[in-house]
Amino acid sequence: MGFTLEPVDGRCLVHLRDSVTVNCATELHGTLVEALASGKPVEIDFERATEVDVSAIQLLDAAAKSAESSGGTFTLSGILPDMIAKAFRLCGLDPFARPLTTTVECE
């Protein structure tokens, strides 16, 4: 699997790693639902991700909107690889323009 969920210091940290694609979309959806249901701030760590496809981007965007509408916190952390930032923009999403990206660093 291209991600893990880890409770850390009062937040749910989702580590994305390697390739996060449609092949693991169902599992990523379940993990994001679990993280959001915890009521804790959710943080997505892109540090070890090498590929994120449109299905993963859609899931992350929907999770961010869900957190935002329920008053929760959803942030990105680590260094967002340029290739993944470009994938977000190709999908019509700017990962740097939304509150969910307040902790993103650009390479």
What DSSP letter does each residue of 66-84 carry, written as one string?
Answer: HHHHTT--EEEESEE-HHH
3-state DSSP assignment of residue 107: coil
Return the structure tokens found at 22: 């449609």
Q: Which amino acid is at 8?
A: V
Report the CATH architecture of 3-106. 2-Layer Sandwich (3.30)
Phi first, then psi: give them for residue 6, nearest 5 degrees.
-135, 120
Torsion of CA 98, 106, 78, 25, to 10 degrees: 60
pLDDT number for residue 12: 94
- Of 8 and 89, the one with more pLDDT: 8
Whether 99 has a pLDDT exceeding 60, the answer reads no
pLDDT number for residue 97: 59
pLDDT tens for 2-58 read: 789 999 989 999 999 999 989 999 999 999 999 999 999 999 998 888 888 888 888
Q: Which amino acid is at 54?
A: V
Domain ranges (residues) in the chain: 3-106
pLDDT number for residue 1: 61
In the block, which residue shows the tokens 């009521």?
Answer: 39
- Of 43 and 104, the one with more pLDDT: 43
pLDDT number for residue 50: 87
- Of 92 and 76, the one with more pLDDT: 76
